[in-house]
Amino acid sequence: MTDEMILRWLKEDDPEKLKTLYREAYQTKLNNVGNSVYFRGIVEFSNICAKNCNYCGIRAGNVNVHRYQLTREEMVECAIWADREQYGSIVLQSGERYTDDYVDFVDEVIREIKRKTDGRLGMTLSLGEQSDETYRRWFESGAHRYLIRIETSSPELYSQIHPNDERHRYENRLRAIRSLRDIGYQAGTGVMIGLPGQTDEHLLNDIRFFEEMNIDMIGMGPYIRHADTPMSSIPEDDELRKRRFEKALKMIALTRLTLPDINIAATTALQALHPWGRERGLRAGANVIMPNITPRKYRADYQLYADKPCIDEDTDACLTCLEKRIQGVGDVIGYGKWGDSPHYHKRMEK
Scan residues 153-212 and list those touching ligand SAH (CB under 6 A): 192
Cα–Cα distance for residue pair 32/262, rounded to 1 Å = 9
Q: Which of 199, 272, 200, 283 is nearest to 241 (CA)?
A: 272
In whole angstroms, how close is the CB of 96 to ligand SF4 at the nearest point?
4
Which CB atom, from 95 or from 285, has the smaller least distance to ligand SAH?
95
Which CB atom, from 125 or from 322, has the smaller least distance to ligand SAH?
125
Residue 59, binding choice from ligand SAH, ligand SF4, none, Cβ under 5 to 8 Å by partner class: ligand SF4
Which CB atom, from 166 or from 349, has the smaller least distance to ligand SF4?
166
Q: Using CB under 6 A, pick the residue from 6, 10, 43, 56 that binds ligand SAH.
A: 56
Residue 162, binding choice from ligand SAH, ligand SF4, none, Cβ under 5 to 8 Å by partner class: none
Residue 223, binding choice from ligand SF4, ligand SAH, none, Cβ under 5 to 8 Å by partner class: ligand SAH
Which CB atom, from 56 or from 90, has the smaller least distance to ligand SF4?
56
Q: Which residues contact 222 (CB under 8 A, 6 or more apart)?
A: 192, 193, 194, 241, 244, 245, 247, 248, 269, 270, 272, 273
Residues that bind ligand SF4 (CB under 6 A): 49, 51, 53, 56, 58-59, 95-96, 128, 304
Cα–Cα distance for residue pair 28/7, rounded to 1 Å = 19
Q: Which residues contact 137 (CB under 8 A, 6 or more apart)?
A: 103, 107
Options 13-21, 73-81, 90-98, 321-329: segment touching ligand SAH (CB under 6 A): 90-98
Nearest-10 Cα torsion for 321, 327, 328, 330: 150
Scan residues 265-324 and list those touching ligand SAH (CB under 6 A): 269, 304-305
Q: Does 151 bind ligand SAH (CB under 6 A)?
A: yes
Backbone angles phi, psi at 8, to 5 degrees: -65, -45
Which CB atom, from 173 or from 283, has the smaller least distance to ligand SF4?
173
DSSP secondary structure, 34-96, as one string: -SEEEEEEEEEEE---S---TT-TT-TT-TTSPP-B--HHHHHHHHHHHHHTT--EEEEEE--
Q: Which of 6, 12, 5 is nearest to 243 (CA)?
A: 12
Binding residues for ligand SAH, rule: CB under 6 A, are 55-56, 93, 95-96, 126, 128, 148-149, 151, 192, 223-224, 226, 269, 304-305
